[in-house]
Amino acid sequence: MREKRDRVVPNQLRLSYLTYVEFKKCISSVHIVMRLRFKEWSKENVKTRTTRSRTREGKRLGRTSSLERLKHLRHSRSIG
């Protein structure tokens, strides 16, 4: 009787360990996907913040950015 009980316990432990390993793999893959999506979101957030900052700066100074001024200068020179 005791031998049968001893054989069941290792099988249960093996199944439990395999379940744990599979669960850990699943969580790891979800973590990787979430991290990549967060990085993309973060980059977009920085781009938006930078654009918003440039717009505010231009309005505050009452002029366009230096690149915009160069474009206008080149365009006006080619026309005139």
Q: 32 lies in which domain range?
A: 2-79
Note the pLDDT tens digit of each residue in 34-54: 999 999 988 888 888 887 777
Q: Is the pTM of this model over 0.95?
A: no
Residue 62 backbone zone (phi > 0: left; psi -120 to 50: alpha; other: beta): left
Q: Is the pLDDT of residue 77 over 90?
A: no
Extract the tokens encoding 21.
């390993």
Total domains in the chain come to 1
pLDDT reported for residue 38 = 92
Please give the Cα distance from 22 to 28 (Å, whole number).
10
Extract the tokens encoding 1.
């009787």
